[in-house]
Amino acid sequence: MGEFVSVQTDDGVATIRIDRAPVNALNVQMWGECADAARQVATDDDVRAVVLWGGPKVFAAGADIKAMREMSFTDAFAHAGELQEAFRTLAEVPKVVIAAVNGYALGGGCELALTADFRYAADNAKFGQPEIKLGLIPGAGGTQRLARLIGTQAAKEWVYGGEMYDAETCRQLGLVDRIYPADEVYDRAVESARAYAAGPYALRMAKKAIDEGMGLDLASALKLETELFAATFATRDREIGMDAFLAKDRAEFTQR
Ligand code: DAK
């Protein structure tokens, strides 16, 4: 349990909660705490799905600009690796992760949301990569995960312009998956996470195949898919799923 990033698990769903008033500005300590939280939910067998949440007001307004103002080139270079590593660890959590976004998800906050499989946004949510207005570029996935998700042209508009975009615009771009009233978005994310938590071990293979495959050429990605497809036959849940189908029954998966 970190000072600003905590993990709470209930009925198979872990919530990683970011909590640093007033706007969840991400300082160096929090990057480490995010990585710790990611490792915890990745390795805890009681956790079957994850919700990433910044609370009811703001998801995260980005890196702490007050702290960053004093950083030298060497500080930035040293911390760049730590932050990339923290966000990579989050993105590689082998379970379904849903970011529930209330209010602003800007800069590093938007990049944090991009580490999740899905983004459920409140109708008042605003996303953006405003780093250019500070004389920076995104440094934690905003030029890469964003471009892969919404395409290079839209990503260029976001990164070059530094503007904020509402939830509906983000939904049309494919960055936001679902929009809910602000006071419902977290509960809806937990509800979906609970459904994924009841799913088979194959969900892990599906996530790995899609995420890792996207970084490979097609032939290598198809080979990875074949290997992971075959690996599902080594799982107990594959037998449970097929037996349930043949018995016209409901599968009770074990995540094994
Ligand atoms: N950092 C520190 N403080 C922040 C902050 C931030 N990112 N955002 C807001 N605050 C503070 C404000 O200074 C203000 O503090 P007080 O004046 O009350 O002391 C308080 O939060 C409330 O903010 P506002 O008064 O501005 O409230 P509004 O509702 O009017 O506006 C806002 C909210 C979130 C739209 C606005 O504050 C805003 O535009 N904030 C800045 C957003 C931003 O530019 N974010 C991007 C930061 S750059 C790295 C990789 C990546 C990164 C860094 C390093 N490495 C590889 C090393 C990421 C960089 C970024 O994220």
The SS3 assignment for 256 reads coil
Query: pLDDT tens digit string along 231-248?
Result: 999 999 999 999 999 999
Examine the pLDDT at 77 and tell me if it is beyond 90: no
Mean pLDDT of the chain: 96
Q: Within 10 A of 79 (CB to CB), how many other CB atoms are there?
A: 16
- The residue nearest atom 19 of ligand 1, judged by CA position, is 22
Q: Can 111 be counted among the known catalytic residues? A: yes
Q: Say yes or no: CB of residue 22 within 6 Å of ligand 1.
A: yes
Mind spelling out the 3-state secondary structure of 95-112? CEEEEEECCEEECHHHHH
- Residue 13's pLDDT is what? 98
Q: Say yes or no: CB of residue 83 within 6 Å of ligand 1.
A: yes
Query: pLDDT tens digit string along 53-75?
Result: 999 999 999 999 998 898 888 88
- Residue 1's pLDDT is what? 78
Nearest partner of 138 among 24, 59, 62, 55, judged by Cα: 62
Q: How far is Cα 74 from Cα 83, in angstroms, rounded to an integer?
A: 14
- For the segment 180-191, the average pLDDT, to the nearest whole number, is 98
DSSP letter at 251 equals -
Percent pLDDT > 70 in the chain is 100
Query: pLDDT tens digit string along 198-214?
Result: 999 999 999 999 999 99
22 CA: nearest ligand 1 atom: 21
Q: Report how far ligand 1's centroid is from the alpha carbon of 65 (Å).
A: 6
- Residue 165's pLDDT is what? 98
Query: pLDDT tens digit string along 88-125?
Result: 999 999 999 999 999 999 999 999 999 999 999 999 99
Q: What is the pTM of this model?
A: 0.97
- Residue 78's pLDDT is what? 80
Q: Can 239 be counted among the known catalytic residues? A: no
Contact 256, 201 (CB under 8 A): yes
- Residue 73's pLDDT is what? 85
Nearest partner of 110 among 69, 163, 45, 37, judged by Cα: 163
- The residue nearest atom 32 of ligand 1, judged by CA position, is 61
Examine the pLDDT at 156 and tell me if it is beyond 90: yes
Q: Say yes or no: CB of residue 64 within 6 Å of ligand 1.
A: yes
- For the segment 33-39, the average pLDDT, to the nearest whole number, is 97
- Residue 81's pLDDT is what? 82
The SS3 assignment for 153 reads helix
Beta partners for residue 15, in sequence order: 8, 51
- Residue 11 in tokens: 């009925």
